[in-house]
């Protein structure tokens, strides 16, 4: 059954949602194979194993008809120049999603298997992810990048698709800015 109406507060300064659902933390040791320089990733994981990103969620369940929300925080940093990012996934039930930028500087990399799109994100900006596009978020700044995601509860999350197909591009530090380079396998 659908859940009852909810009033949910979220913090652009802390990356929290209240009331809160499950909280996910992805450290360097959780993202094997994500960065092009796998040896450098492993060294960081064997070192102080920094947090790459966290995902806070509201209590709205991932169930058909519902609209779950989550708040992602990508910590600033890079692995051999490649900016911190989320694992990225495809929605196996092709349904769209919106991202609302809350703090910091980032972007959404999207890939449909042929075409790559990049949408720059900043506070107050909506990035729209159409059905059929895998999506990954990247922090290209030097402070935490945060965004709120709203997606259909029956969309699902397929991480294997991105492992198999890649994302078309990788995002590297380039002076004070960034550059999109052709995708290379890890
Ligand atoms: C949900 C969505 C986001 C991501 C989050 C973490 O459909 O796109 O809430 O789940 O940014 O990224 P992943 O799931 O790729 O680890
Ligand atoms: Zn998604």
pLDDT in tens, 15-48: 999 999 999 999 999 999 999 999 999 999 999 9
Structurally, the chain folds into a number of domains equal to 1
pLDDT computed for residue 63 by the predictor: 96
Among 149, 153, 160, 166, the mutation site with the greatest number of ligand 1 atoms within 8 A of its Cβ is 149
pLDDT at 184 over 80: no
Structural domain for 132, as ranges: 10-176
Residue 90: inside a domain:
yes
Q: What is the mean pLDDT of residues 141-148?
A: 98
Contact 90, 160 (CB under 8 A): no
Q: Whose CA is nearest to atom 6 of ligand 1?
A: 86
Strands (E), 58-182: 69-74, 78-79, 82-83, 97-103, 106-111, 116-121, 126-129, 134-139, 145-150, 169-174, 177-182
- Per the confidence metrics, is the pTM higher than 0.90? yes
* CATH code where residue 37 lies: 2.60.120.10
CA of 132 to the centre of ligand 2 (A): 11
Q: What is the mean pLDDT of residues 70-81?
A: 98
Residues 92, 75: Cα–Cα separation, whole Å: 27
**Does ipTM come in above 0.95?**
yes
Residue 184: inside a domain:
no
């Amino acid at each position: 059954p659908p859940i009852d109406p909810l009033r949910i507060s979220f913090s652009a300064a802390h990356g929290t949602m209240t009331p809160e659902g499950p909280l996910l933390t992805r450290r360097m040791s959780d993202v094997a194979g994500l960065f092009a320089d796998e040896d450098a990733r492993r060294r960081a994981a064997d070192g102080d194993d920094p947090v790459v990103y966290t995902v806070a969620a509201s209590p709205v369940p991932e169930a058909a008809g519902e609209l779950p929300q989550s708040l992602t925080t990508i910590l600033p940093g890079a692995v051999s120049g490649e900016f911190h990012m989320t694992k990225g996934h495809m929605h196996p039930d092709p349904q769209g999603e919106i991202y609302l930028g809350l703090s910091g500087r980032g972007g959404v990399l999207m890939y449909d298997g042929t075409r790559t799109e990049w949408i720059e994100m900043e506070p107050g900006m909506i990035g729209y992810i159409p059905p059929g596009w895998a999506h990954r978020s990247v922090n290209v700044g030097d402070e935490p990048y945060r965004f709120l995601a709203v997606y259909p509860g029956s969309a699902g999350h397929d991480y294997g698709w991105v492992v198999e197909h890649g994302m078309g591009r990788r995002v590297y530090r380039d002076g004070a800015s960034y550059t999109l380079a052709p995708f290379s396998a890890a």
